[in-house]
Amino acid sequence: MQEALRFRVPEAELIDRPDYVKQARRLWQGSEVGARGLALTIRGLRKSFGDHEVLRGIDVCIPAGQFVAIVGKSGCGKSTLLRLIAGLESIDSGSVSFGSEARPEDARVMFQEPRLLPWARVLANVEVGLGRGRKSADARARAERALTEVGLAEKRGQWPAVLSGGQKQRVALARALVSHPRLLAFDEPLGALDALTRITMQRLLERVWRDQGFTAILVTHDVSEAIALADRVLLLEDGRIARDIHIDIKRPRKRGSADLAALEGSILGELLRGGDERST
């Protein structure tokens, strides 16, 4: 059990990626799209709102193509960290840098709410994701491909209002994927879904990540979700990364297996205990 937990200091060096990522990468590079993961380095990142210092020096290095989950108590600054990475908030001090030259289309965010335009049909909503490529000739074809990828091709002409919650999130995923981002950040994208839909969506996320080889950063409340999907779990506490846990369980991971359950138990323990120790 303990072998599965490898704690690292926040100043993590590049770790070797699991084989399947390399495979997926190779496949992907062979295709015409050529989307690869984007490495991400965060140094001494701080952020306060007024007097309240939310992030007090985040140091982390995420290699290209890794699937990272960020867990932590409510209000500990997970969303803030994600918004800083996505460039939606200004940085107080420190830096967020990508491994190579990144276009705006290279990093995409997916939120807890699908944020679809209610007055645009499903396909048009996906086209929004193309960014500056919206006006290109193959925009429609690319949007259709992304929609097929999330299994909603037949809903292309519908209004978002008639879709179920899970379907809306899938459209939002297609919109995020259509520009072939090299880094995709998720802020509790599955938080509002029922348990069954959640599991289906988790499988979908894992599949597209393996197919496309982007770097994935998933903020979640759900430790079991983090363990089922991620290569690495970051535990955010008191504005710092308190634990950096690498999960070396082979994929596809069996939900409810003893390995996962034991790991989940120990991380949950960390989460609960960590807060108590620190406060004394």
Partner 1 sequence: MSVIESFPRVRALKLPRADGFVPWIVPLVILGVWQLACATGFVSSRVLPAPSDVALAGWKLTVSGELGRNIWVSFWRASIGFMIGGSIGFAFGLANGLSQLAGKLTDTTLQMVRNIPHLALIPLVILWFGIDETAKLFLVALGVFFPVYLNTLHGIRTVDPQLIEMGRIYGMTNGELFTRVIFPGALPSIFVGLRFALGIMWLTLIVAETIAASSGLGYMAMQAREFMLVDVVVLSILIYALLGKLADSASRALERLTLAWHPAFRKP
Rule CB under 6 A: which residues touch ligand ATP?
49, 54, 72, 74-80, 221
Q: Say whether residue 192 binds partner 1 (CB under 8 A).
A: no
Q: Say whether residue 79 binds Mg ion (CB under 5 A).
A: yes
Tell me the pairing of strands 40-49 and 93-98. antiparallel
Q: Answer whether 10's CB lies under 8 Å from 235's CB.
A: no
Choose among partner 1, Mg ion, ligand ATP, none what residue 86 binds, the Cβ cut-off being 5 to 8 Å by kind.
partner 1
Return the amino acid letter for 56: R
Choose among ligand ATP, partner 1, Mg ion, none what residue 104 binds, the Cβ cut-off being 5 to 8 Å by kind.
partner 1
Q: Say whether residue 175 binds partner 1 (CB under 8 A).
A: yes
Complete DSSP assignment for 150-182? TT-GGGTTS-GGGS-HHHHHHHHHHHHHTT--S
For residue 181, whether the previous peptide bond is cis, meaning omega lies within 30 degrees of 0, is no
Mark the segment that binds Mg ion (CB under 5 A) among 72-80, 190-198, 210-218, 257-265. Answer: 72-80
| Contact pattern for partner 1 over residues 6 through 45, marking x by CB under 8 A | ----------------------------------------
Residue 90: CB minimum distance to ligand ATP, A = 11
For the chain, the residue count is: 280
Number of residues that bind Mg ion (CB under 5 A): 1
If one counts every other C-beta atom within 10 angstroms of the C-beta of residue 59, the result is 16
First-to-final CA distance of the chain: 29
Nearer to Mg ion, 79 or 125 (CB): 79
Could you tell me where the DSSP H helices lie in the chain? 19-30, 78-85, 122-128, 139-149, 165-177, 195-212, 223-229, 258-279
Mark the segment that binds partner 1 (CB under 8 A) among 26-34, 40-48, 59-67, 154-162. Answer: 154-162
Choose among ligand ATP, Mg ion, partner 1, none what residue 54 binds, the Cβ cut-off being 5 to 8 Å by kind.
ligand ATP
Choose among partner 1, ligand ATP, Mg ion, none what residue 49 binds, the Cβ cut-off being 5 to 8 Å by kind.
ligand ATP
Between CA 262 and CA 223 the distance in angstroms is 12
Under the rule (CB under 8 A), what is the footprint of partner 1? Answer: 86, 88, 104-105, 108-109, 111, 113, 115, 117-120, 128-129, 131-132, 159-161, 175
